[in-house]
Amino acid sequence: MYHYRSVKIESDPNWGPEVHMAVKKKKARQKPFWERGYKGHAYWLGKQKLGKVTLVAHAQYDWDAAGKRGRSDTLERARAAVEFAVAMADKQLSLFD
């Protein structure tokens, strides 16, 4: 994707006061986001599902992310646990690669 940026060139009289140059846009880094669902939430990065939180019973939430599972008493804690598990899985190197 290209956009144009105007640049003034003072040293060359043939170009005039402004020249439009094509500059390639930098791709924005994708940011993970939460998607709400019926009795659960999912954590996505683009089209890749990173984790999920499911309502099991009244005030009981199961979470699953990056090969780890757990149970929490509030939705906020379950979502924080999923985000933490994903962040730690991203930073840890695999042992046998």
pLDDT digits (tens, 9 = 90+) for 55-82: 999 999 999 999 999 999 999 999 999 9
- Beta strands per DSSP E along 8-74: 19-24, 33-37, 40-45, 48-57, 60-65, 68-72
**Residue range 8-42, pLDDT digits in tens:** 555 656 655 555 666 777 788 899 999 999 999 99
Domain holding 79, by residue range, is 33-91
- Asked if residue 1 is part of any domain, the answer here is no
Residue 61 lies in a domain: yes
Helices and strands (H, E) in the chain, number of each type: 1, 7
The residue ranking higher by pLDDT, 22 or 54, is 54
**How would you label 43-70 residue by residue, b for 16+ Cβ within 10 Å and e otherwise?**
beeeeeebbbbeeeeeeebbbbbbeeee
Q: Is residue 7 part of a domain?
A: no
Tell me the whole-structure pTM to 2 decimals.
0.68
- Is the residue at 51 inside a domain? yes
pLDDT given for residue 80 in this prediction: 98
As for how many domains the chain has, the answer is: 1
| Contact residues for 33 (Cβ-Cβ < 8 A; gap 6+) | 43, 44
